[in-house]
Amino acid sequence: MSEEFDAIVIGSGMSGGWAAKELCERGLKTLVLERGRHLDHPSPEYTDFEAPWDIEFRGMVPEIYDEQGRYRMLKRKGWTYRNEIIQFFVDERDHPYSYPEDRPFMWTRGYQLGGRSLTWARQTYRWGPKDFEANARDGHGVDWPIRYGDLAPWYDHVEAFAGISGASDGLENLPDGEFLRPWEMNCAEGVAARNINRSFEDRRMIIGRGANLTEVRDVHAELGRGACQARDHCIRGCSYGAYFSSLSATLPAAQRTGNLTVETDSVVSEIIYDPLTRRATHVKVVDYHTREERLYSARIIFLNASAIASAQILLNSRSEAMPNGLANTSGQLGNYIMDHFGHAGANGRIEGLEDRFDFGRRPTGIYIPNYRHEREDQAFVRGFGFQGGANRQRAGHTGSRPGIGAESKASMDQWSPWVLGIGMFGEMLPYADNTIRLHPTRTDNWGIPLAHMDCHIRENERAMIRQAEQDAVEILTAAGCKDISSVRTPDDEHVLVGGKTHEMGGACMGHDPATSVLNRWNQAHDVDNLFVTDGACMSSCGTANPSLTYMALTARAVDHAVQRLQEGGL
């Protein structure tokens, strides 16, 4: 026997939370399946009110983890390897995956209710017209079946609910939106921005757009969300609900309808398909603790487990009708894996302003959007942008390096100069042979074949990295910086894909069922009642952070699915 629902959502993170909210508000009895543990909001696991000296090991991760081989990839990520937040990340020793030895892939996961919406960097940008046109223009990947105009009203919809701060910048390919009051640049960034914007016709430095409430509107207050306190403890979990997450916003909105059921500790192994009706009939779940199997059925299924996990589930959903995986008659399932990449940037000292200091810890930085679309004077296609910011720090240290006594104490009264740093966010081309597959012999603790990622950058991306280093120096020179230093990964060194935590692709949208997995409504070409609206659906990766686009695509897909259901089409 299986439990029956109107809709099932697999995954409770960024897009899964949105699917649950929209489906429940349309009156559908909806089940959310989350493989990780249950968390409340606010949660006892949040550490945002703990002082540094109250956190175990002062926030540093015990060295024994290295000896035990724990959190190896998370450590390579760097800034997330902290003891006060490690509970929100997966230990790959317990949840392994696979990759070629010479091409490691970083897959950073969060197995808890809310998923990675608890730990994202909250940078929220609309994609512009050229981002949706790029595949058709240069012939890489499959053409997006939608354009910016199709998504614009849904960007409006999700921005108004989530609460996105930003300025109206009037940039063609970084469209303005439904914004809350923007954060302010600090004095050093203001000087740099004025100089940069005067020096270039094509390069603009703007304040970052972010999902932290600078003001509380009724839609936020109704859910108990409060204004951001500029503490920059977001990744510890925000007890105020000031940053947007599934736990603080979409899942509570779904819960208040009375239509939501949540099952945590529920590891989805496969989706069962009926070839006679061309429908997905059931979702099979393995209990995280007992390993017992359960079945759930629904009229509509939304797959939102994250790009890699969603492709893994579809590949493992093999049947006599679809021996190569569910929704894979095209043979394209698991192809075109992408992520943004960095590996080039610069920093420099801004003179003067010695009497100025910034107050608080603003939760966003600055942004220089992609200015290299369709240029003929470059050795690559697509482009890159820069993110970063200026800061001024005390000359002393915080205990992370040796040094005690009078000299160390005296240095705490000294301040370093203002320094502006920028790092690239490059667009990785969609390559069909950058793939996720199922490991032929290894399985996890729940009997599911491991995900095997084989993904690397090519010469087009290497050329971007070389150019980005030059551009970063050029931009900081124009900003008025001194003592500029740059950094770039050498051409012969492996670039770790997955480092930006923006995995995309694997079940791409497209016009043609022969060359893509999903149609223009995020609906599987092969399976009428199956929708995929997380990063797996993306046909290219652009240069801007993708979460806002996942939200908009999800809301749009739910609207279409419910209309079809009401018309009897599903």
Distance CA 141, CA 504 (A): 13
- Our count of domains for the chain comes to 2
Task: pLDDT tens for the chain, 570 residues: list them.
Answer: 578 999 999 999 999 999 999 999 999 999 999 999 999 999 999 999 999 888 888 888 999 998 898 999 999 988 888 999 999 999 999 999 999 999 999 999 999 999 999 999 999 999 999 999 999 999 999 999 999 999 999 999 999 999 999 999 999 999 999 999 999 999 999 999 999 999 999 999 999 999 999 999 999 999 999 999 999 899 999 999 999 999 999 999 999 999 999 999 999 999 999 999 999 999 999 999 999 999 999 999 999 999 999 999 999 999 999 999 999 999 999 999 999 999 999 999 999 898 888 888 999 999 999 999 878 889 999 999 999 999 998 766 655 566 677 777 776 677 889 999 999 999 999 999 999 999 999 999 999 999 999 999 999 999 999 999 999 999 999 999 999 999 999 999 999 999 999 999 999 999 999 999 999 999 999 999 999 999 999 999 999 999 999 999 999 999 999 999 999 888
Q: Is the peptide bond before 42 cis (omega within 30 degrees of 0)?
A: yes
Instruction: Mark whether 311 and 441 lie in a shared domain.
Output: yes
Do 205 and 367 contact (CB within 8 A), yes or no?
Answer: yes
Give the per-residue pLDDT at 386: 98
Instruction: Mark whether 305 and 352 lie in a shared domain.
Output: no
Q: Give domain status of residue 118, yes or no.
A: yes
Give the per-residue pLDDT at 321: 95
Instruction: Mark whether 509 and 382 lie in a shared domain.
Output: no
Do 96 and 520 contact (CB within 8 A), yes or no?
Answer: no
Residue-wise DSSP of 176-219: --SEEPPPPP-HHHHHHHHHHHHH-SS---EEPPBSB-SS--HH
Give the per-residue pLDDT at 499: 93
Spell out the SS3 assignment of 280-339: EEEEEEEECCCCCEEEEEEEEEEECCCHHHHHHHHHHCCCCCCCCCCCCCCCCCCCCCEC
Q: Give domain status of residue 524, yes or no.
A: yes
Q: Which domain holds residue 27?
A: 3-41+98-122+244-339+432-455+503-566
How many residues belong to the chain? 570
Tell the burial category of 258 from Cβ atoms under 10 Å away from its Cβ (0-12, 13-18, 19+). exposed
Instruction: Mark whether 441 and 475 lie in a shared domain.
Output: no
Distance CA 563, CA 570 (A): 9
Instruction: Mark whether 372 and 299 lie in a shared domain.
Output: no
Q: Give domain status of residue 238, yes or no.
A: no
Do 228 and 206 contact (CB within 8 A), yes or no?
Answer: no
- H-only helix segments in 404-546: 406-411, 459-479
DSSP 8-state code for residue 60: P
Q: In terms of DSSP bridges, do strands 164-165 and 179-180 run parallel, antiparallel, or are they unpaired?
A: parallel
Distance CA 78, CA 363 (A): 18
Do 534 and 304 contact (CB within 8 A), yes or no?
Answer: yes
Instruction: Mark whether 436 and 545 lie in a shared domain.
Output: yes
For residue 136, what are its two tokens? Answer: 């058709």
**Look-up: residue for tokens 């192994």?**
269
Q: Can you give the pTM of this predicted structure?
A: 0.96
Instruction: Mark whether 248 and 270 lie in a shared domain.
Output: yes
Do 306 and 116 contact (CB within 8 A), yes or no?
Answer: yes
Do 511 and 518 contact (CB within 8 A), yes or no?
Answer: no
Give the per-residue pLDDT at 562: 98
Give the per-residue pLDDT at 396: 62
Q: Give domain status of residue 393, yes or no.
A: yes
Do 488 and 446 contact (CB within 8 A), yes or no?
Answer: no
Instruction: Mark whether 451 and 419 lie in a shared domain.
Output: no
Q: Give domain status of residue 276, yes or no.
A: yes
Q: Give domain status of residue 164, yes or no.
A: no
**Look-up: residue for tokens 């790092």?**
423
Instruction: Mark whether 408 and 388 lie in a shared domain.
Output: yes
Give the per-residue pLDDT at 254: 98
Q: How far apart, in Å, do the first and last CA atoms of the chain sit?
A: 23
Residue-wise DSSP of 446-476: TSPEEEEEE----HHHHHHHHHHHHHHHHHH
Do 533 and 521 contact (CB within 8 A), yes or no?
Answer: no
Q: Give domain status of residue 260, yes or no.
A: yes
Give the per-residue pLDDT at 401: 61
Long-range contacts, 92-98 (Cβ 8 Å, 24+): 93/68, 93/69, 94/445, 95/444, 96/442, 96/444, 96/450, 97/308, 97/450, 97/451, 97/452, 97/453, 98/439, 98/442, 98/450, 98/451, 98/452, 98/453
Do 385 and 350 contact (CB within 8 A), yes or no?
Answer: no
Give the per-residue pLDDT at 225: 98
Q: Give domain status of residue 88, yes or no.
A: no
Element (H, E) at 485: strand 482-488
Instruction: Mark whether 108 and 194 lie in a shared domain.
Output: no
Distance CA 368, CA 129 (A): 17
Distance CA 151, CA 69 (A): 44
Instruction: Mark whether 268 and 346 lie in a shared domain.
Output: no
Instruction: Mark whether 445 and 331 lie in a shared domain.
Output: yes
Residues 6+ apart with CB under 8 A from 95: 109, 111, 444
